Amino acid sequence: MKTFSYTITDEVGIHARPAGLLAKKAKEFESVCTIEKGGKSVNITKLMALMGLGVKQGDTVTVTCEGADEDKASEALKAFFEETL
């Protein structure tokens, strides 16, 4: 299991566009990737749940990847967060 935390710097947070891109990124991997904010945790590939988290600028989220390629998945998602969010 790989975990990292990230504090959102993008001013509009995880709205439709980044949610779509993020889910797409997570689907590339076999590992199950979840994102947690304020005690609520959802699967990143579940678009509606992901958007439902309402992640905004300044929120700290914890991303967890678990599965065969968890290292790669975690790295890729981390890179995505750093670039996009």
Active site (catalytic) residues = 15
3-state class of 51 per DSSP?
helix
> What is the distance between the alpha carbons of residues 42 and 44, in angstroms, rounded to a whole number?
6
Q: 40, exposed or middle or buried, with CB in 10 Å at 0-12, 13-18, 19+?
A: exposed
| Near other proteins in 21-80, by CB under 8 A | 21, 23-24, 30-32, 34, 36, 41-43, 46-48, 51-52, 54, 56, 60, 62, 64, 66-67
Look-up of token digits 């439709």: 16
| Near other proteins in 13-32, by CB under 8 A | 15-17, 19-21, 23-24, 30-32
For residue 62, the surrounding DSSP H or E stretch is: strand 60-66
* Binding interface with other proteins (CB under 8 A): 1, 5, 12, 15-17, 19-21, 23-24, 30-32, 34, 36, 41-43, 46-48, 51-52, 54, 56, 60, 62, 64, 66-67
